[in-house]
Amino acid sequence: MKNNTVYSLAFLLLASLFACKTEDIKPELNGGSNALVTLSINQSTISEDGGTAELMVNLSQVSSSDVEVKLAYTGSAELNKDYSSNLSIVIAAGSLSNTTSILALQDTMKEGNENVLIAVDQVIGAKEDGTQVVGFTIEDDDSPASDNLILNEILYDPSNAALDGDANGDGVYAQNQDEFIELVNNSTKSIDLSGYKVFDAGGLASGIPNHLVPNGTILQAGKALVIFGGGTPTGTFGGALVQTSTSGDLNLNNAGDVLTIKDSSNNVIISFDITPLSDNPNESYTRSPDLIGDFEQHTKVAFMKFSPGTKLEGSPF
């Protein structure tokens, strides 16, 4: 699946992930243990050329007996074809965690980046802590770098409740200035964004960009670029690159608008139709999980209304 469009198969992937399980309710054979199981992964992107990631299973407290966590893998990438990993992880009695390695498998096909979603399918000896799903991307080493630029979050309707809408952190609520888009380099290589152009529908029709990315803008692997409508962005924003619109206004309407991003050669890299999400949310829309998930209203997946430059829960990329 290519990353040059913001409409992904994530919703279908999540649906298939849960549909593939043998029971509607996950069996939890906990043997009386109150320990809770969580998943984490140390990489959001790995290279198709031998890239690796570590999947960790954690317990909230030690167990007097072994805990086995069985895993379900879904996504556009196929287990044992595009990557290899174990189907279960055992946490030994008295331990709090264990890991398993995920290895990307090289092929010669130009197929674009592929996503993997990993969920807990069954727990023996403990309980799953809610619903645990993590994911990562396998970067196709035959695809151009621009395929790895992801629109991860967009705020086109800031809250007008005092400073609840002050996304740029300058202490002033200004609707047009607090609008932003968050782009993430979901690859293992840097991307030169010099000369990239950001348009709303009106700007695209006139050929005049709302933002022209300055020369020398290099987005490092795994890092974010946040473009605000204006103002004086104040804060760390997770260490992201931060810019303000060169036109002074991203001009993103709450309905009937399309965000378009072109590279320096005028190729369309990203196209995002606001209309399907035009419900005046007074907060941003963010991918959940970050980078590979479908767009959700921010407060449905985190306690904040927005998280420019960081992952949805506030940690740096």
Q: What is the CATH number of domain 145-301?
A: 2.60.40.1260
- Where do the structural domains in the chain lie, given as residue ranges? 10-139, 145-301
Please give the model's pTM, rounded to 2 decimal places.
Answer: 0.69
In this predicted structure, what is the pLDDT of residue 140?
Answer: 87
Same fold, 10-139 and 145-301: yes
Distance, in Å, from the CA atom of 214 to the CA atom of 2, rounded to the nearest integer, reads 26
- At 82-117, the pLDDT tens digits run 999 999 999 999 999 999 999 999 987 777 889 999
In the chain, what's the furthest Cα-to-Cα distance? 68
Task: Assess if CATH 2.60.40.2030 describes domain 10-139.
Answer: yes
- At 178-227, the pLDDT tens digits run 999 999 998 888 999 999 999 999 999 999 999 999 999 999 999 999 99
Is a pLDDT exceeding 80 seen at residue 20?
no
Distance, in Å, from the CA atom of 284 to the CA atom of 152, rounded to the nearest integer, reads 10
